């Protein structure tokens, strides 16, 4: 690990000001992504700015037709919220399947979204639900936020402060996870809402999380697992590595999507 200076701040505005003053800094939320990358020397920074004291960035607000969650809310808090389990159960279930107990006890929703790991779960929830990312500069639609592997629409010095998730009529998230990291080799989020059907895929795309538009069209016409058989999926755009090649990931995407559809249908019986 390279040497660095450590700072703590009590608000998002203080963190933003400190970033501008220092010129060379990285934000520390839960540390589950940044610290391992720093230890491996994949990331070098002269300053680490810890957000743990930013209480304004924590909390779950259940509103009318939407749920807003602060960026520093930990995975374990999302997973264990009884109110969220009633209002938006798919998100509580998703959070409960992230990593292991230590990761869930430290990792934060905002940190995961800002990092945009190509196999992370929250980006699929944001894109699948058509969420809005709240930042210190305004609001960004999820469709415009995730730009590529570890790349987002955040401007220099802009912080994620929370996410507003519309509550769908029904939704399910299914993933085939790596047995060690519990990251998704393929994860599929299916949501039915008043304004249409959305499907987001994580873990499989070479450019990170993406919407599977062909499957959205197929399921809009016939919401049944069999409808996915004819939905085109270009495997040339999928990851191929030591864990799974592109064709296998394409197979997993179809299987996970079908399982998500079956779960929604079973819940509505």
* Domain segments of the chain as ranges: 5-166, 170-267
Both tokens of 214, joined, read 């062909």
Phi, psi (deg, nearest 5) at residue 79: -65, -30
Q: Which residues have C-beta within 8 Å of that of residue 107, sequence separation ≥ 6?
A: 29, 30, 31, 32, 33, 74, 75, 98, 99
pLDDT in tens, the chain (269 residues): 788 999 999 999 999 999 999 988 999 999 988 998 899 888 889 999 999 999 999 999 999 999 999 999 999 999 999 999 999 999 999 999 999 999 999 999 999 999 999 999 999 999 999 999 999 999 999 999 999 999 999 999 999 999 999 999 999 999 999 988 889 999 999 999 878 999 999 999 999 999 999 999 999 999 999 999 989 999 999 999 999 999 999 999 999 999 999 999 999 87
Closest by alpha carbon to 8, among 61, 59, 48?
48
Secondary structure class of 51 (helix, strand, coil): coil
First to last CA, the chain: 54
Q: What is the pLDDT of residue 239?
A: 94
At the top level of CATH, the class of 170-267 is alpha beta
CATH architecture of the domain with range 5-166: 2-Layer Sandwich (3.30)
Phi, psi (deg, nearest 5) at residue 129: -95, -5
Question: H/E element holding 266?
Answer: helix 246-267
């Amino acid at each position: 690990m390279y040497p660095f200076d450590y700072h703590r701040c009590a608000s998002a505005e203080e963190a933003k000001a400190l970033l501008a003053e220092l010129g060379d800094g990285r934000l520390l939320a839960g540390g589950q992504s940044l610290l391992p990358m720093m230890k491996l020397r994949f990331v070098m920074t002269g300053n680490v700015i810890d957000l743990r004291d930013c209480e304004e960035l924590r909390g779950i607000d259940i509103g009318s037709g939407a749920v807003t969650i602060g960026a520093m809310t930990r995975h374990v808090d999302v997973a264990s919220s009884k109110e969220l389990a009633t209002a938006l159960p798919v998100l509580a279930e998703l959070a409960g399947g992230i990593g292991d107990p230590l990761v869930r006890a430290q990792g934060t929703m905002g940190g995961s979204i800002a990092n945009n790991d190509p196999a992370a779960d929250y980006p699929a929830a944001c894109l699948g639900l058509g969420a809005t990312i709240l930042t210190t500069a305004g609001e960004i639609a999820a469709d415009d936020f995730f730009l590529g592997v570890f790349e987002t629409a955040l401007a220099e010095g802009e912080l994620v402060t929370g996410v507003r998730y519309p509550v769908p009529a029904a939704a399910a998230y299914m993933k085939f996870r790596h047995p060690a990291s519990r990251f998704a080799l393929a994860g599929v989020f299916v949501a039915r809402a008043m304004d249409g059907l959305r499907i987001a895929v994580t873990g499989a795309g070479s450019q990170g999380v993406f919407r599977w538009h062909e499957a959205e069209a197929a399921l809009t016409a016939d919401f049944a697992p069999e409808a996915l058989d004819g939905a085109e999926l270009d495997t040339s755009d999928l990851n191929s590595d030591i864990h799974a090649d592109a064709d296998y990931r394409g197979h997993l995407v179809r299987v996970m999507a079908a399982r998500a559809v079956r779960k929604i249908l079973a819940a509505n019986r």
